[in-house]
Amino acid sequence: MTLIKSISGIRGTIGGPTGDTLNPLDIVKFTTAYAQFIGGRKVVVGRDGRMSGLMVRNVVVGTLMGMGYDVIDIGYATTPTTELAVRMAGADGGIIITASHNPRQWNALKLLNREGEFLTAADGAEVLRMAEAEDFNYAEVDHLGSLTVDDTYNRRHIDSVLALKLVDREAISKRKFRVCVDTINSVGGIILPELFQALGVDYVILNGECTGDFAHNPEPLEKNLQGIMDEMKSGRYDLGIVVDPDVDRLAFICEDGRMFGEEYTLVSVADYVLSQTPGNTVSNLSSTRALRDVTERHGGTYSAAAVGEVNVTTKMKEVNAIIGGEGNGGVIYPESHYGRDALVGIALFLTSLAKKGCKVSELRATFPDYQIAKNRIDLTPETDVDAILVKVKEMFAKDATAQVNDIDGVKIDFPDRWVHLRKSNTEPIIRVYSEAATMESADELGKRLMQVVYDMQ
């Protein structure tokens, strides 16, 4: 059993002893700390389709009311829907009940500020400190909060997407797209059909029932998507679309069943946005160089940020980026809001595809071709991650061909490839991402660094 406390919230497996799992007592503690920290009166709560979602929701809502907060429960909702709802409702914050791409036994509380954005590192650290201190003060009976259930925010989210200037609903409808979509038994199966209907897109949904009993590993990686890839090979569809359980990550599949590449979700959407409104872009250190290449081709400047949505959005504001995100399929488009949003990504991608009049595979061929190997090292309680990262940094410090960046783990940049090692914020693992011209070269580089870690354990 595992409980992970980070600046973005609290995440863990359901069931087991307190202090080591995501259980009612720890949920109360962290919800109380968050409520006490933001110091407001109104909070939005939304949840994905996980089997434990109702239990966690009940504890969260009851705790917030006990702290004197008026709660707006928007029910089954994507992460970006909840983020938008905070702003639309004029709330003081929001709690998203989702463990994103983690397996079914996990759940989490993601914490938002009054802008509907994730807490800063400093604010998240303060919430953690307050949770550990447990110096809480609950409301008296005459000052308990209220509960309002409001299921209108899915529609409001879709309306906001349709209102974006670069989303051309008419062009999309004229192309008469037929798409196959895997919504992995969560909230995507509720909201995406509404989006496709609004865009005039014909669709077939796989794993559409919102049960939280995921039909396969919910992380939208090629190794987990054989079902939809096989369906796409039938030749009946123009595009395959895959989302994760909370619909902030987005992956595409070409009309012939080949992966478009989750790294190229952001690249393709950014290419379209930059062609219409030139500017700067941002992605995290573990994302493909292709975004840099595309940005410079359009006359803009690319910047890299530490991994984590709040780090990316902070850098985007700093450099006035018009689009950004993460190579895991996360698209952040400030014209909508500062949060990863698969609905925005889908609408912009379909607009681009409609205007170009090409197939998905043909669009993919227009971008620089890099290959990323994504490996992981499971951690044990004895693993000294900091010592490992220092060792890796020292190994390449005197290499004239390597640039070493240690703002988030250690990234070693070579002229034709790179490798990045960092401790995950969401799982007890070290992520080892490496990129090169071929998958063999990328994997070889990653495995080389992984062996260094194994030798130190």
Calpha distance 443→457 (Å, rounded): 21
What are the residue numbers of the active site?
100
- DSSP 3-state percent helix, strand, coil across the chain (nearest 5): 40, 25, 35
User: What single string gives the DSSP state of each residue in 314-341?
Assistant: HHHHHHTEEEEEETTTEEE-TTT-SSB-
Count of positions (residues) in the chain:
457
Beta-bridge partners for 403: 413
Classify the phi-psi angles of 35: left when phi > 0, otherwise alpha if psi is within -120 to 50, otherwise beta. alpha
Cα(307)–Cα(407) distance, integer angstroms: 9
Q: Which pair of structure tokens corresponds to residue 337?
A: 């809001």
For residue 124, give both structure tokens: 């998240």
CA–CA separation, 456 and 107 (whole Å): 32
How far from 260 is each of 180, 181, 240, 265, 274, CA to CA, in Å? 14, 14, 9, 8, 20
* Crossing angle of the two packed helices 79-89 and 153-162, in degrees rounded to 10: 90
For tokens 């890099």, name the residue.
Answer: 370
The SS3 call for residue 168 is: coil
Give the orientation angle of helix 188-199 with respect to helix 342-356, to 10 degrees: 30
CA angle, corner 166, sides to 261 and 283, nearest 5?
40
The burial of 253, by beta-carbon neighbours within 10 Å (0-12 exposed, 13-18 middle, 19 or more buried), is given as buried
